Amino acid sequence: MKEHFKLVATVAAGFESVVGKEVKSLGFDCQIDNGKVYFEGDIEAIAKTNLWLRAADRIKIIVGQFPARTFEELFQGVNALDWENYLPLGAKFPIAKAKCVKSKLHNEPSVQAITKKAIVKKLQKHYHRPEGVPLQEIGSEFKIEVAILKDIATIMIDTSGTSLFKRGYRVGKGGAPIKENMAAAILELSNWYPDKPLVDPTCGSGTFCIEAALIGMNIAPGFNRSFAFEEWSWVNRDIVEGVRNQAEACANYDVKLDISGFDIDGRMIEIAKKNAEEAGLADIITFKQMRLQDFRTAKLNGVIISNPPYGERLLDDKAVDILYNEMGQTFQALKTWSKFILTSDEGFEKKYGQQADKKRKLYNGTMKVELYQFFGERVKRSQIVR
């Protein structure tokens, strides 16, 4: 079977640089493209990136790439790939997804059917099975994806299984919660470091706070979950176990963190506490029911990160306008604190009462949003209250 792979980490638009930095920090050279970060590596690389990438969606193996302007070209291109080096006899290999953009081939169900047929024919020949006899798919699963962009087909195998944002700690959630990998990416885009206080005044189910604690303690985000590739028969279990053991050794459970989450909804605070407990962080994060406008602190040099109601999350336009105005008034006194606020409301700055120092366009699912960034005044460490 294959030992070295062309790999791609898929990522939400706007976070490519974050994932690229993460991939490089793991020791891999990479190339950044729209929604993708390309790199190469072995099984250990697949294990490390699945385990450690905080902001990515999935890790996929690129089996091959070729022009596909007709269904015949698609069939021949897929059939020519070295499937015998990926799919053992008996493997399940559903064509889980096909996406065609700006291409002559646009019937996605037909693309899936032809891809499947081409792989079956290749495996029948390699494993000396008669063409009329169906291949038995009773083994581990290899989900195959086809992406055709501008008549170039890319054939991939998903190694992650469920998306990487599903860390495994969320036992409850509120309405339209932020995904774990998006929360982690925003934290990495901010100027928060583990030695700074962090507050989420609209914490909901606690995602920002939990992701910050995982970062602060250097806990691999995928440590408490499994991945699709771990079920593949040809994957060396000792290598995967070694990567997991290294991750365990890297965690710093003794670091002191100052992370707090507040929400006006007591029900959400209880959910946040349960999520933190599931993540093993119940004693690390302080969650408290409190109105945003009641937040006061004598601490300096802190960071506020907030995902307040907006867009599909709005219940009452007027109430949200009031919330944004109260945010501006409450945070105005926190001169040394930096604030990072995510919203799709284009009039946010006017309602908040201050122009952002910097804005970054992002996407929360399909919704276009802005990360409004307000930087605090610099303070000498000797002045910081602990």
Whether 100 and 137 share a structural domain: yes
pLDDT, one tens digit per residue, over 133-189 is: 889 999 999 999 999 999 999 999 999 999 999 999 999 877 678 999 999 999 999
Is 215 domain-assigned?
yes
Express as a percent the part of the chain with pLDDT over 90. 88
Q: Is the dihedral of CA 46, 187, 184, 101 positive or negative?
A: negative
When pLDDT is cut at 50, 70 and 90, the band that residue 23 belongs to is very high
Given a contact cutoff of 8 angstroms between Cβ atoms, the answer to whether 15 and 55 are in contact is: yes
Strand order in the sheet with 367-374: 285-289, 259-263, 198-200, 303-306, 338-343, 367-374, 358-364
CATH of the domain at 190: 3.40.50.150
Given a contact cutoff of 8 angstroms between Cβ atoms, the answer to whether 374 and 385 are in contact is: no
When pLDDT is cut at 50, 70 and 90, the band that residue 215 belongs to is very high
Q: What is the pLDDT of residue 380?
A: 65
Range(s) of the domain holding residue 151: 5-158
- Look up tokens 């890319």; give the residue: 154
pLDDT, one tens digit per residue, over 318-369 is: 888 889 999 999 999 999 999 999 998 899 999 999 999 999 999 888 888 9
Is 166 domain-assigned?
no
Whether 304 and 361 share a structural domain: yes
Whether 210 and 343 share a structural domain: yes
pLDDT, one tens digit per residue, over 44-92 is: 999 999 999 999 999 999 999 999 999 999 999 999 999 999 999 999 9
Is 232 domain-assigned?
no
CATH of the domain at 98: 3.30.2130.30
Whether 144 and 191 share a structural domain: no
Q: What is the pTM of this model?
A: 0.93
Whether 322 and 185 share a structural domain: yes
Q: What is the pLDDT of residue 213?
A: 98
User: Which is nearest to 167 in space by CA: 289, 35, 51, 32?
Assistant: 51
Whether 82 and 115 share a structural domain: yes
Whether 205 and 353 share a structural domain: yes
Q: What is the pLDDT of residue 385?
A: 52
Q: What is the pLDDT of residue 336?
A: 96
Is 67 domain-assigned?
yes
Cα–Cα dist 334/232, whole Å: 52
Whether 79 and 133 share a structural domain: yes
Q: Is the dihedral of CA 261, 264, 268, 273 positive or negative?
A: positive
Q: Rg of the chain's alpha carbons, rounded to an integer?
A: 24
Is 175 domain-assigned?
no
Whether 101 and 197 share a structural domain: no
Average pLDDT, the chain: 94
Identity at 70, one-letter amino acid code:
T
Whether 20 and 74 share a structural domain: yes
Of the two residues 314 and 83, the one the predictor is more confident about is 83
Cα–Cα dist 275/98, whole Å: 34
Instruction: Please give the sequence-ordered ranges of beta strands (E in DSSP) within 111-167, or none if there are none.
Output: 144-149, 152-158
Sequence-distant (≥ 6) Cβ neighbours of residue 265 within 8 angstroms: 174, 289
Instruction: Please give the sequence-ordered ranges of beta strands (E in DSSP) within the chain, or none if there are none.
Output: 5-10, 30-33, 36-41, 58-67, 95-101, 144-149, 152-158, 198-200, 259-263, 285-289, 303-306, 338-343, 358-364, 367-374
Domain count, the chain: 2
